[in-house]
Amino acid sequence: MGEGTKISWAHNTFNPWWGCSKVSPACDNCYAESVANRWDFNVWGKKAPRRFFTEKHWNEPLKWNRAAEAEKIRQRVFCASMADVFELRKDLDPWREKLWDLVEKTPWLDWMLLTKREKAIQKLLPAAWLKAPRPNVWLGVTAENQRRAEERIPELLSVPAVVHWISAEPLLGPINFEPWFYGAQHDVTHDGVDAPDGAVAGGEERTGDRWFRTTGIDWVIVGGESGAGARRMDPAWARDILDQCKRHHVAVHFKQKGQVLAAEMGCKDKAGKDSSEWPAEFQIQEFPEPEAA
């Protein structure tokens, strides 16, 4: 389980455990929950147990790392498709520690950590990583609409990482990412009015009467929802995000139209993943190039 993936932006997926609980609208039609239910695993909800794995499972990334090193080609690993690494549960702590150790042992794998629990990132990452971000750890949050972007992105950017990324999937509304791109500025009256010139805080630096972002979003993934109960992604929302990223020279990856829009457009692929069925403006699947990696 885990080797290879149909996800267009990763080479492999790895789950340190299965199970989670819902925290926002993006979770309403959770694909991972439906997969777990299909296998008759009762692992969803705050009180449900989580499903853990044997050493055979944990050894798989070591194999991927050896192969990547032999080929001198880095591999992207999405962690975790069936869980949230930053879920605050004590029973997960030893497995999280095991994961951090695995990440350290696999320098040829770029570990893509995605969460909807932005406030837990700084609490749960190893202290050493906060002081010296690991070159193979990409930190991301889900932002399905403007409200979740405003809640999660500032918390994400306050934690150092070689790549800060956003999953705008399922995209449930328009989002303005401009305040969080590198170099974005705002007046001092918005924050830290008494801070001296040159002050640095939360990925921003004060210069004269402005604050400028010194840490910003490096990568945005955009996609519509698929599966039972899928909600419609307005193509205008996606188009606007693609335009924002282009203007600010930020890597952007369009993943899929989603089930509703794909049906409206008469796509053969039900989830709208076939890029040959996309308008030319959506045919963009870029990746960030971290300097420290």
Task: Check residue 257 and give its pLDDT.
Answer: 95
Token couple for 161: 């990482």
Q: Is the dihedral of CA 196, 201, 204, 205 positive or negative?
A: positive
- Residue 129 confidence (pLDDT) above 70: yes
- Rounded Cα distance between 76 and 185, Å, is 32
Structure confidence at residue 190 (pLDDT): 65
Per-residue model confidence (pLDDT) at position 292: 46
Q: Where are the domains of the chain?
A: 12-181+216-282
pLDDT over 90 at 201, yes or no = no
Q: Confidence band (pLDDT; 50, 70, 90) for 293?
A: very low
pLDDT band at 193 (very low <50, low <70, confident <90, very high): low
Look at the domain 12-181+216-282 and name its fold.
TIM Barrel (3.20.20)
What is the per-residue pLDDT for 243? 97
Q: To the nearest 10°, report the CA torsion of 253, 255, 257, 262.
A: 140
pLDDT tens digits for range 88-121: 999 999 999 999 999 999 999 999 999 999 999 9
Q: Give residue 175's pLDDT.
A: 98
DSSP state of 118: G
Pick the residue with more confidence: 201 or 217?
217
Condensed to tens digits (0 to 9), the pLDDT of residues 256-276 reads 999 999 999 999 999 999 999
Residues 232 and 224 sit within 8 Å (Cβ to Cβ): yes
> Between vectors from CA 32 to CA 26 and to CA 37, what angle results, nearest 5°?
125
pLDDT tens-digit readout, 246-261: 999 999 999 999 999 9
Question: Backbone dihedral region of 275: left (phi > 0), alpha (psi from -120 to 50 degrees) or beta?
Answer: alpha
What separation in angstroms does the CA of 209 have from each of 157, 182, 206? 22, 18, 7
pLDDT given for residue 291 in this prediction: 65
Tell me the per-residue pLDDT of 14-57, one tens digit each, with 9 for 90 and over.
999 999 999 999 999 999 999 999 999 999 999 999 999 999 99
pLDDT at residue number 205: 86
54-68, 138-152, 173-187 — which is least confidently predicted? Answer: 173-187
The model carries a pTM of 0.93
Strands (E) across 178-272 are located at 185-187, 200-201, 204-207, 210-213, 219-223, 251-256
Token digits for 162?
Answer: 């070689």
Determine the Cα–Cα distance for residues 280 and 192; give it in Å rounded to an integer: 44
Instruction: Give the pLDDT confidence score for residue 185 in this predicted structure.
Output: 87
Residue 202 confidence (pLDDT): 74
pLDDT at 208: 84
